[in-house]
Amino acid sequence: MPDKASTRLTQRDIARLAKVSQTTVSLVLNNRGDASARIPAETRDRVLKVIRETGYQADPLARRMTKQRNQILGVFTYESVFPSASGDFYHPFLAGIEDRAERLGWDLLLFTSAPVTEGRRRIFHENNRLRIADGCLLLGREIPSDELARLIAEDYPFVSVGRRDDAGGPVPYVGADYTAATRTVTERAQELGHRRIAFVGIGVGAESSADRLRGFRAAAGARAPHLPTTDRSPGELLDDLLERGITVALAEERADAIALYAVAAERGVDVPGDLSVVALGDSTRPVASDLDFSGFHVPRRAMGVRAVELLEALLSGTATERQLLLPCELTDGITLTPPEGA
Amino acid sequence: MPDKASTRLTQRDIARLAKVSQTTVSLVLNNRGDASARIPAETRDRVLKVIRETGYQADPLARRMTKQRNQILGVFTYESVFPSASGDFYHPFLAGIEDRAERLGWDLLLFTSAPVTEGRRRIFHENNRLRIADGCLLLGREIPSDELARLIAEDYPFVSVGRRDDAGGPVPYVGADYTAATRTVTERAQELGHRRIAFVGIGVGAESSADRLRGFRAAAGARAPHLPTTDRSPGELLDDLLERGITVALAEERADAIALYAVAAERGVDVPGDLSVVALGDSTRPVASDLDFSGFHVPRRAMGVRAVELLEALLSGTATERQLLLPCELTDGITLTPPEGA
DNA sequence: CGGCTGTGGTAATCCGAATTAGCAGCAGGC
DNA sequence: GCCTGCTGCTAATTCGGATTACCACAGCCG
């Protein structure tokens, strides 16, 4: 029968009702029958009976004051977690994170309170609440290195989802091996007989961009063409590609691959007949297309799962390797074929 | 310059460095320049300087021990928050919740740790952690009334997303007015000349099911046909409908409407020519269809937003009405037309 | 009977911050 | 010179539970 007391039940209340001390209640609850504290079955049962009757629940906050772990896994995203677009890039990561968190008995704390200043969210702001969580997972295309550096300097346990460059020290991460995947895809194009292959995308800034360009250059050479996408329409891009005699466009962004495909179809340019189009990963922008592009996918769900596991290892001190790259899933697809002349 | 101390900084550390007492640090941090505690600018600046230099952050949990609010909004779902299917029913709710939480400066705590016992998650389990949050939002098709009753009995601040029947007292909720929307849609069908209208779906159990059936009965009468969907294939359902001479099927589940439409097309039954099909809400199951069904949509995003607002009002004691029904968005669509004979 | 070892429990302290009560020191008034 | 009042700060206490140190008592031994 629940107490109708206005204030919540405490161990002190239980102690009074069971005619023991608060200490005893705590000992019973924590099953400490060892060494210094021995509770005979009779007393233990009496305490447990009162607990059952009152429906007492320990205050998790008070508990955390003395214990180390809080069983809360922080998740910091540099964009909204629940965007309106359903074809969400982050969704699979979070599904993996949730799955593993559930299995570990952790709750997920989404830091939605972080205010947006100067156009982006920042971890460290006036009233930073990182410490509520035992550790934190970081999601985002780009993460300012000063924030990473500070996390490292403060020795705060965190794992980045996605590879990050050193920031005043190595950053713990679980990333996708964009470099290897892009290199493999480029080599495959070469094996098919292609000689004019271009990288289409940003290629700088975020690690994920730079990694792909690096993989491309590793296979195609340092001077292989890189066509930036900024401020150019898919039409202009297509013109440029054809003018240069390119036969394979490696699109960093799946969305660009889709746009390129669409504008090509519009103009009667055959894909892959006249131009092969390869998607280097998954779309970070909401676009719908059920076209089976050649290229690769990012193991997003697995990355989420492994990131939680790595954080757990860091927290329990059992981590051996703090940086992990997962292979991307290569897809044959239908948009990469041998060049016309071959 | 961040301290490289192994343990986290506390107010005591700050106090020592600034050569004041822990009390003073707390007073400075809480801007208490009033009445009993006056801190001159000089001392205040000295303390603030140390805080800035060390990067001290107050432990939010310790704070919660003494303060009321923690700025954490709990979210309890009876299913996974991040399902693998992208066409997720809960997504819009959460988007609304996140949006409002962000604006209020709250963090979102997803109770993913709640273990699944006897096939479902339960709020109250061995190590219940509800109290980490200031209050909680509940999501799910069905919520056991004993859990609701206990929340009410314990006077824990919560809001259900979706209408709920009383459970030892009125349940605070922000729901969708399924009853009115279903009634309106049914009446619209009647105005078009339909006389044989059937309700297709569960119609019992969850409030959202019962509400729809009630709205249907209010317009179509107590004995209007109700065809359960459990253990029947869409084909069997269609046979039954046609056999009974039904001209409008009101599908509680959008997924059933889609399935019905598909099997009708397969068999050469014209929708809406031979049979009108109406969708009473949005799909709780992942199904893809861009068909513009007649019927209505659930204002999911708005419900999320309003639920956070209601919880805020409950917490600050400014709530006037604790139960709120939002109107559904009626859609004309193309699957409801006058019956053949009309 | 004094000393020793186990039992069975409790008082006291701590965690980190917030809050209350109150104390020194000094100025001004009479 | 004493009381009052203000300034500037701190000691002590609180929140709820975990932990440590220790105490009272019984039983047994020599």
Residue B288 pLDDT: 67
Which of B9, B110, B128 would you mutate first to test chain A, the one with the most A CBs within 10 A? B110
Least confident piece of the model among A75-84, A192-201, B3-12, B73-82: B3-12
B117-127 pLDDT, tens digit per residue, is 666 777 776 66
Say whether B80 and A62 touch across the interface (CB within 8 A). no
More confident residue, B130 or B187: B187
- For A60, which of B4, B87, B129 is closest by C-beta distance? B129
The per-residue pLDDT for B111 is 85
Is any atom of strand D within 7 angstroms of residue A55's beta carbon? Answer: no
d(CA B182, CA B190): 12
Mean pLDDT score, A242-249 = 93
Euclidean distance between CA atoms A287 and A266, whole angstroms: 18
Q: Calculate mean pLDDT across residues A301-325.
A: 93
Tell me the three state secondary structure of residue B324: strand
Q: DSSP characters for B23-81?
A: HHHHHHHTT--STT----HHHHHHHHHHHHHHT----HHHHHHHSS---EEEEEESS-S
Residues A326 and A175: beta-carbon distance below 8 Å: yes
Q: What is the mean pLDDT of residues A111-137?
A: 74
Judged by a CB distance cut-off of 8 A, whether residue A290 touches chain B is: no
List of chain A residues whose C-beta atoms are within 8 Å of the C-beta of residue B108: 81, 109-110, 112
- Average pLDDT over chain A reads 86
- Please give the DSSP secondary-structure letter assigned to residue B326: E
Residue B338 backbone phi and psi in degrees, to 5: -60, 155
A30 touches chain B (CB under 8 A): no
Proximity of residue A22 CB to strand C below 7 A: yes
pLDDT at B149 > cutoff 50: yes
Residue predicted with more confidence, B321 or A284: B321
> A82 contacts in B (CB within 8 Å)?
91, 94-95, 97-98
Residue in B60, B105, B132 closest to A60 by CB: B132
pLDDT of residue A102: 86
Residues 6+ apart with CB under 8 A from A140: A77, A78, A79, A162
The tokens describing A68, both together, are 């180390």
Q: Which of B108, B296, B58, B116 is nearest to B189 (CA)?
A: B296
Q: What's the CA–C1' distance between A314 and C10, in Å?
A: 38
What is the band of A155 on the pLDDT scale with cuts at 50, 70, 90? confident
Cβ distance of B91 and A86 shorter than 8 Å: yes
Q: Which residue has the higher pLDDT, A325 or B342?
A: A325
Q: What is the Cα–Cα distance from A8 to B119, expressed in whole angstroms?
A: 30
**Using CB atoms, which residue from B62, B99, B112 is nearest to A102?**
B112
CB-based contact (8 Å) between B170 and chain A?
Answer: no
pLDDT (0 to 100) of residue A171 = 97
Shortest CB distance from A107 goes to which of B91, B106, B129? B129
User: For residue B21, what pLDDT is reported?
Assistant: 92
CA A35 → C1' C2, Å?
27
* SS3 category, B125: coil
CA distance A217 to A199: 9
What is the number of other CB atoms lying within 10 angstroms of the CB of residue A197?
Answer: 23
Q: Is the CB of B69 under 7 A from strand C?
A: no
Rounded mean pLDDT, A198-210:
93
A141 alpha-carbon distance from chain centroid = 10
Quick check: A323 CB within 7 A of strand C?
no
**Is A66 (CB) below 7 Å from strand C?**
yes
* Alpha carbon distance B260, B245 (integer Å): 16
Q: Is A287 on the interface with B (CB under 8 A)?
A: no
Residues of A in contact with B8 (CB under 8 A): 131
Amino acid B121: pLDDT? 74
Interatomic separation, CA of residue B4 and C1' of nucleotide C22, rounded (Å): 37
Residue of A nearest to B125 (CA): A57
pLDDT of B18: 93
Q: Is the pLDDT of residue B326 over 90?
A: yes
Q: Average the pLDDT over B306-311 and give the result.
A: 97
For residue B113, the distance in angstroms to the closest alpha carbon of chain A comes to 4
Write the pLDDT tens digit of every residue in B238-268.
999 999 999 999 999 998 999 999 999 999 9
According to the model, what pLDDT value does residue B33 have? 63
Whether the predicted pLDDT of B6 surpasses 60 = no
Given a cut of 90, whether residue B102 has pLDDT beyond it is no
User: Could you give the CA distance from residue A66 to residue B28 in angstroms, rounded to a whole number?
Assistant: 26
The shortest CB-CB distance from B86 to any of A61, A87, A124 is to A87
CB-based contact, A101 to chain B, within 8 Å: yes
Instruction: Determine which of A95-109, A112-126, B263-277, B308-322 has the lowest per-residue pLDDT on average.
Output: A112-126
Q: Looking at strand C, which nucleotides approach a protein CB closer than 7 A?
A: 7-12, 14-22
Task: Give chain D positions with protein CB within 7 A.
Answer: 7-12, 14-22
Q: From the alpha carbon of A28, which nucleotide's C1' atom is closest?
A: D18
pLDDT of the residue at B1:
35
d(CA B122, CA B136): 14
User: Over 50: is that where the pLDDT of A286 sits?
Assistant: yes
Would you state the structure tokens that stand for residue B94, as one six-digit string?
Answer: 């959460």
What average pLDDT does this structure show over A291-312? 95
The CA–C1' separation of B86 and C21, in angstroms, is 59
Q: What percent of chain A has pLDDT over 90?
A: 52
* % of chain B residues with pLDDT over 90: 55
Q: What is the pLDDT of residue A310?
A: 96
pLDDT tens, position by position, B44-92: 999 999 998 887 878 778 888 887 677 889 999 877 666 655 457 788 8
Across the interface, whether the CB atoms of A113 and B91 are under 8 A apart is answered no
Closest CB to B113: pick one of A64, A86, A106. Answer: A106
Contact B65 A64 (CB under 8 A): no
Per-residue pLDDT, averaged over B322-333, amounts to 96
Average pLDDT over residues A243-265: 92
Q: Which nucleotide is the nearest neighbour of B38, by CA and C1'?
A: D8
Q: Which residues contact B4 (CB under 8 A, 6 or more apart)?
A: A153, A155
pLDDT tens for residues A33-44?
Answer: 665 667 888 889
pLDDT of residue A5: 41
Are residues A84 and B92, on separate chains, in Cβ contact within 8 Å? yes
Predicted confidence at residue B2, as pLDDT, reads: 35
Distance B272 CA to D14 C1' (A): 70
pLDDT at B225 over 90: yes
Identify the H or E element spanning B173: strand B173-176
The reply to whether B64 touches chain A by the CB within 8 Å rule is yes
Check pLDDT > 50 for residue A1. no
Q: What is the pLDDT of residue B100?
A: 93
Residue in chain A closest to B8 (alpha carbons) equals A154
Which of A198-202, A218-222, B80-84 is predicted with the least confidence, judged by mean pLDDT? B80-84
Whether residue B60 contacts residue A111, with contact meaning beta carbons closer than 8 Å, is answered with no
Flag whether residue A66 sits within 8 Å of chain B, measured between CB atoms. Answer: no
Contact A82 B102 (CB under 8 A): no
CA distance B238 to B232: 10
